[in-house]
Amino acid sequence: METFEMIKSRKAVRQYTGQISDEQLNNILLAANAGSVGLGKFEDYRLTVIQKPEVLSKLTGIYDAPTVIVVSSTNNGLMEGNSAGTIVHNMELAAENQGLGANYNMACLGSIPENVIPDGFKPLFAMTLGQTTETFTPRNISLSKIATNIVK
């Protein structure tokens, strides 16, 4: 799908019908790695893909998603949070471009069991993923949705 059409079609999906394929996951991880991070310090970030049912069952607020990807960093400041957001947004667009359901998720972060996130890293953002029967149709978006000040 063309980029702007994909942006206009984006939506939160909270109902999943099955697991994503390894190829779909690899495309999503490639999109994550194309994201930007502050000062180019990619070594300060980790992606943790959770598909193990025993771990997923302990996560709260994931809508029975078969895959959760957590973005973690060695720090949890504003720059790291913004960087995690760009990584997750890239993953979300890549998922929906493949017809997958995705949803930004921070509700599950506090329920991640010990030893799932690598030592020295703090979970900042997560995304739930799975197959879906949802369709992605571009919608009309008003420029007045978010109040805008233009300074010239």
Which of 115, 101, 112 minimizes the C-alpha distance to 9? 101
pLDDT value at 38 more than 80: yes
pLDDT value at 114 more than 90: yes
Q: Give the contacts of 106 (CB within 8 A, at least 6 positions apart).
A: 125, 126
- Predicted confidence band of residue 131 (pLDDT cuts 50, 70, 90): very high
- Residues 98 and 67: their CA atoms lie apart, in Å, by 15
Q: What is the mean pLDDT of residues 120-143?
A: 94
**Is the CB of residue 92 less than 8 Å from the CB of residue 10?**
yes
Q: What are phi and psi of 50, to 5 degrees?
A: -110, 115
Looking at residue 23, its pLDDT comes to: 98
Tokens of 61: 């607020």
Looking at residue 49, its pLDDT comes to: 98
Q: What is the mean pLDDT of residues 16-28?
A: 98
This prediction's pTM:
0.93
Amino acid in the structure at residue 40? G
Q: What is the mean pLDDT of residues 42-59?
A: 97
Which residue segments constitute the domains of the chain, with CATH numbers given?
3-130 (3.40.109.10)
Mean pLDDT of the chain: 94
- The position carrying tokens 């996130």 is 117
**Is the CB of residue 125 less than 8 Å from the CB of residue 88?**
yes
Looking at residue 22, its pLDDT comes to: 98
Q: What are phi and psi of 124, to 5 degrees?
A: -115, -35
Maximum alpha-carbon separation in the chain: 55
Element (H, E) at 73: strand 67-73
Looking at residue 1, its pLDDT comes to: 63
6 compared with 148, residue with greater pLDDT: 148
- Residues 29 and 141: their CA atoms lie apart, in Å, by 29
